[in-house]
Structure 1
Amino acid sequence: MPRKPVARDAVLDAYESLLIEVGERAATLDAVAKGAGVSKGGLLYHFPNKEALISALLERLDELAQEDIERMKAAPDGAAAYFIRTSLWGGTPMDRAFVAATRLAEVAHEETRRRFAGIQRQWLGVLAEDVGPEVAKAVSYMGDGLYFNAMFEGGQDAGNTDREADVEILLGVLDRLRK
C-alpha cells in the first residue's frame, strides 16, 4: 500500500525547517527523520538520499516562485510596488523555501545557485516590464536590502514593525523613479 503524500510533505517540511534553523550540515537524514516523526526507513522510502531531498526542496521553491511571479504580474499597483512590499519576512511558504534554499547556496550547492539565478532573472524581467530595466535593478536591490537587513538585524523572529516604515519610504522613492 503506497504511503500517504502527507508523510512525504512532513519529511520535506522537516528538512526545510532544519536548514533554516541549524543549517545544511546539521540537516542530516537522521535529524530530518526525527523532525518529521518518521523512521529513517520511512524517510528513505520518499527520499532515497539527501540529493533527492534537495531536489524536492528546489521544486517547491520553483513552484512557489512561479506563483509569486504570477501575483507580481497581476498586482494592481504594479510589479515593482508588489516586490518591495513582499520583501519583508512574512513566514510564508515562499519565505521558508527561499531561506532554506539560501542555506544550500551558502555551501556552494550549484543547482541551488542555478535555480536562484533563474528566479532572479524572472523577477527582474517582470520588474523591467513595469518600470524599465534600470529602475528594475534598483527595485531588486531595494527588495533584497529590506529582506537581508531584516535578517541581519534580528532574523525571522524580529518582526517587521520598523521595516514597514522603510517600505513606505522606498515606495515613495519608486514613485519618483517612475517619473
Structure 2
Amino acid sequence: MSSRDRILDAYAQLLAEEGERFATVDAVAARAGVSKGGVLYHFPSKDHLAGAVCERLETLAAEDALQMRVAEEGPARYYVRSSHYAGTPLDRILVAASRLRQAGDARARAAIESAAAEWLSILHEAIGDLDTARAVKLIGDGLYYNALHRALGGHLVASDADEDLLSVIDRMIAAAAQR
C-alpha cells in the first residue's frame, strides 16, 4: 500500500472513530506512521484530505453500483443483501464521509447523495416502479443503519440478509410488475 493510501486510510479511520475535529494532521501522521511533512507532501491541507475521502467514496460507490447492476440475483436482492456493515473499504469511507458531512462539508454531502441517487436509479431501472424501488432502498438503508450502529458500538455482527426478508422484496417486485 502506498504512503498516500495509508495516510488517507488513517484519516478515514480517525474521522470514523473520533470525528472531524480530532482528525488533525498530527493525528493522521501518527496513525499512518509517517511524519507530518509526509502527510503534507501528499495532502497540503486537511481540506485536501477531505476531498480525497469524497473522491474515494465516489470511486468505491461507482464500483458497487456496477456490481449491483450485474448481480446475478438482481439489483434489489443485491442491495438488501449488501446492506450490512462489514467493515469493507466502501463501509469505512462511507462512515468517514458521513462524519465530514456532519461537519458541514458540502463535497461529502454531494458524494453521499450522488451514491444514494445512483443506487436508487439502478433499483428503479430494474424494478420499473419508483415507489417500490424507494421502498427496497429504504429497507436496505434501515438494515445498514442498524448494522452500522451495532458495529460502531463494537458489535460487528456478520449477517446475511434474512431469506424471509428477501422473499418480501421478491413479492414487492412481483406486485410492482403487475401494475
TM-score normalised over the length of structure 1: 0.91
CA separation in 1, counterparts of 2:98 and 2:144? 12
CA separation in 1, counterparts of 2:44 and 2:58? 21
Q: CA RMSD in A?
A: 1.6
Query: Percent identity at matched positions?
Result: 45
In the alignment, is residue 169 of structure 1 matched against residue 164 of structure 2? yes
1:69 deviation in Å? 0.3
In the alignment, is residue 36 of structure 1 matched against residue 23 of structure 2? no
1:156 deviation in Å? 6.7
CA contact (8 A) 1:142 1:170 kept: no
1:154 deviation in Å? 4.8
1:114 deviation in Å? 1.1
In the alignment, is residue 9 of structure 1 matched against residue 5 of structure 2? yes
Which residue among 117, 120, 142 is the counterpart of 2:113? 117
Secondary structure class of the residue paired with 2:167: helix
CA contact (8 A) 2:29 2:39 kept: yes
Secondary structure class of the residue paired with 1:158: coil
TM-score normalised over the length of structure 2: 0.91
Alignment gaps of 5+ in structure 2: 175-179
CA separation in 2, counterparts of 1:138 and 1:97? 25
Which residue among 45, 49, 56 is the counterpart of 2:52? 56
Structure 1's consecutive aligned runs of 4 or more residues displaced over 3 angstroms after TM superposition are none
CA separation in 1, counterparts of 2:117 and 2:134? 11
1:153 deviation in Å? 3.8
Amino acid at match of 2:37: G
